Amino acid sequence: MEIFGSGAEAPSMLIVDDDPSIVAVVSDWCARLGFDVETASAGLEALVTASRCKPDILLIDVNIPELDGLSVCKQLMDSGNKPLQAIMMTGYDNQKLAKRCEALGAFYIAKKGDFWTKLETALSALYPEHSIRVLQLGMRSAGVELRRRPRVLFVDDDADVGKLFCSKLEKLGIEALYAADAKQGFRMACREHPTVIVSDYYMPDGDAEYFLNQLRSTPATKSIPVIVQSGRDLGDVVKERLRRGGLGLPGAARVVRKTFDPGDLLKCLQKYCGFEGAVEGNWRFPL
């Protein structure tokens, strides 16, 4: 049922997105078409994986941790190791970004209702001799709507802080979820696959280190970026332990101080969620 015959070598594809639900559905769809699929969840990981598998096609989100998708794409194209075709994904229609992709010679696809149609069109253009099979198999395999909005899981035992912050994130176009402790947060992370998790350090039934260890020891959540915040000074030893992680698994993406002004936290989230603009009006955490 694949578009490439059993005697032909399947093109290799590297799919990069920090949203595990998107990686799962897109990689499954492309594998059904016959591509040899590798995945990564962050920019530096993508470069390492690409050096190993040397992909023919790069399907990458623009807003990913460590190094943005455009930079990853340009580095791989400039490396000269192998001709590379690129398809850039983003959660927002952005004409300026579309022009930058065009300048790189990359396809540009927004994660919205016609995503699968545009992906089929891009693959058909790259493999015109197989375009009919791409369309036939693609129409049967798709049907799953990609989540367009980034999703943030906010974990804090102070319900007032959680509700306030989630309401503000919703105004920025971010889907916000709230959990009152580490155990509830872990269950929600496994079920909802958030783009990023923001966790308070001190919580009943397990602090952020306990929570982080649970997340990193579970395949479905091990790659989700986690931002840890605290109203108290955690000290250099604890901060380093949080960032370092263990057993080859990533630690906290950032450790920030919880203050009345959440500006630093919003800047961190903007890196992972790619929202534009600022919060309207002045608001403060009720510490």
Span 250-274, pLDDT tens digits: 788 888 888 766 777 777 787 777 6
**12-141 has CATH 3.40.50.2300 classification:** yes
pLDDT score for 136: 65
Burial class of residue 119 (count of CB atoms within 10 Å of its CB; 0-12, 13-18, 19+): buried
pLDDT of residue 257: 83
Overall pTM > 0.75:
no
Residue-wise pLDDT tens digits, 132-177: 767 666 554 455 555 557 789 999 998 988 888 888 888 877 889 9
CATH 3.40.50.2300 spans which residues of the chain?
A: 12-141, 151-273
Q: How many Å apart are CA 205 and CA 199, to the nearest integer? A: 13
**Buried-exposed string 79-88: b where 16+ CB fall within 10 A, e elsewhere:** eeeeebbbbb
Q: For the chain, which residues score pLDDT lower than 50?
A: 1, 140-141, 277-283, 287
For the domain spanning 151-273, the CATH number is: 3.40.50.2300
